[in-house]
Amino acid sequence: MEAPFYSRLALIGIGLIGSSIALAARASGAVGEIAIHTRSPSTLKRAEELGLGDAYFATAAEAVKGADCVIVCVPVGACAAVAAEIGPHLAPGAVVSDVGSVKAAVVKAMAPHLPAGIHFIPGHPIAGTEYSGPDAGFATLFENRWCVLTPGEDVDPAAVARFVAFWRTLGANVETMSAEHHDLVLAITSHLPHLIAYNIVGTASDLEAGIRSEVLKFSASGFRDFTRIAASDPTMWRDIFLANKDAVLEMLGRFNEDLAMLTRAIRTGDGDTLFELFTRTRAIRRSIVAIGQDTAAPDFGRRGTEKPEG
Helix/strand/coil for 21? helix
pLDDT > 90: what percent of the chain?
74
Give the separation between CA 38 and CA 22, rounded to whole angstroms: 13
CATH superfamily of 181-269: 6-phosphogluconate dehydrogenase C-terminal like domain (1.10.3660.10)
Distance of CA 161 to the CA centre of its chain: 21
Q: How confident is the model at residue 260 (pLDDT cuts 50, 70, 90)?
A: very high
The residue extents of the domains of the chain are 6-177, 181-269
Residue 42 has pLDDT above 60, yes or no: yes
Distance of CA 74 to the CA centre of its chain: 11
Give the DSSP H or E segment for 308.
none
What strands, in cross-sheet order, belong to the sheet with 119-120?
55-57, 31-37, 6-12, 69-72, 95-98, 119-120
pLDDT > 70: what percent of the chain?
92
Find the mean pLDDT for residues 121-146: 93
Find the mean pLDDT for residues 114-128: 95
Give the separation between CA 100 and CA 90, rounded to whole angstroms: 20
Find the mean pLDDT for residues 30-53: 97
Residue 269 has pLDDT above 80, yes or no: yes
More confident residue, 169 or 302: 169
- Which residues 6+ apart lie within 8 Å of 36 measured at CB? 10, 11, 14, 18, 22, 44, 47, 48, 52, 53, 55, 56, 57, 63
Contact (CB, 8 A) for 60 and 37 = yes
Give the separation between CA 23 and CA 30, rounded to whole angstroms: 10
Find the mean pLDDT for residues 35-61: 97
For the 6-177 domain, the top CATH level (class) is alpha beta
